[in-house]
Amino acid sequence: MGLIEFIINIYMLAFGLRLFMPAASPFSENPIQRGLYTATEPVLRPIRQVIMRGEPRFDWSPVFAIIALVIVRGFLVTTVMGVPLSTSLAAGMLDVFDFVVRVIAILFLGAFFISIESPFAFSQSGHMMHNIAHFFLAPIRRFTGYRIGRPDVSALLGIVLLGVLHGLVLYQAGAMVAQAAGAPVDMILESIVYVIDFIFDVLFIVILVRAVLSFFNPDTGNALFQILILFSDPILAPIRRIMPSTYGIDFSPLIAILILRFIQVSLLPLLLRI
């Protein structure tokens, strides 16, 4: 069941990305868009033919695909674990919401790194990430302003607001089943820490993967490797300025990982004691 849930989550992410990439096609210049189209179009095409007749202004087929996956997941949980269907569907929707919050949080982090001109910020992948993030951050940017080369405060505020929304939804869901624990403020604070902690986990993986790939001289033209650099270089570059490579060995990934883990283990828990 764990493997099936993982596959379902991956496809939910793919369908969510397709929702904001209507121009994706097998002829797209960006390899990520081509791969995304190849993986999702066999499912989305029948949905358009059955549900969305004519030429709609916006392609909502990815939304229907995500809903279908939630229903399928609910039936699987009911069949395998004997949980009531309504409960499994509700839990599935909360899982989808949690998954979406985490993905958007990483997207906002990417938007922040792009604003400070991280390497490959203006690549095809960076441009795509910027456009998707702007869809969500535009209302905040009306108040904070936005300019490339200046730290994007709206992206950081967006991450905090995601934590607030996550906490409110979980609190309301718990209240509906009479399982709410503590005050809503506590739930919101826990959710903000949860989102930040997840971001640190992702940064840890990104830095580790980049450090391993550096031994194999990867192609910097590869879109996935460009994303790794986009997310890791803003953290590694300041460390390299303080501690340059010694005898050709770059210790910045190790130092960055130690700093990230120290913050996660020692500092983030302090926020929950406020």
Give the pLDDT of residue 23. 73
What are the CA-CA distances from residue 221 to residues 117, 120, 186, 224, 239 (Å)?
A: 18, 10, 45, 9, 25
Handedness of CA 194, 198, 203, 205 (dihedral sign): positive
Output phi, psi for 14, to 5 deg.
Answer: -65, -45
Helix, coil or strand: residue 145: coil
The DSSP output letter for 249 is: B
Residue-level pLDDT at 159: 95
**Distant-in-sequence, close-in-space partners of 163: CB < 8 Å, separation ≥ 6:** 188, 191, 192, 193, 194, 195, 196
pTM here? 0.80
pLDDT in tens, the chain (274 residues): 677 878 888 888 888 878 777 777 888 777 777 888 888 989 888 888 887 655 556 677 888 888 888 888 888 877 877 777 777 777 778 888 888 899 899 999 999 998 887 777 777 778 888 888 888 998 998 888 877 778 889 999 999 999 999 999 888 887 776 555 567 888 899 999 999 999 999 999 999 998 888 888 777 777 778 888 889 999 998 888 888 777 767 888 999 999 999 999 888 888 877 6
Rounded Cα distance between 13 and 106, Å, is 12
- Cβ–Cβ < 8 Å for 74, 30: no
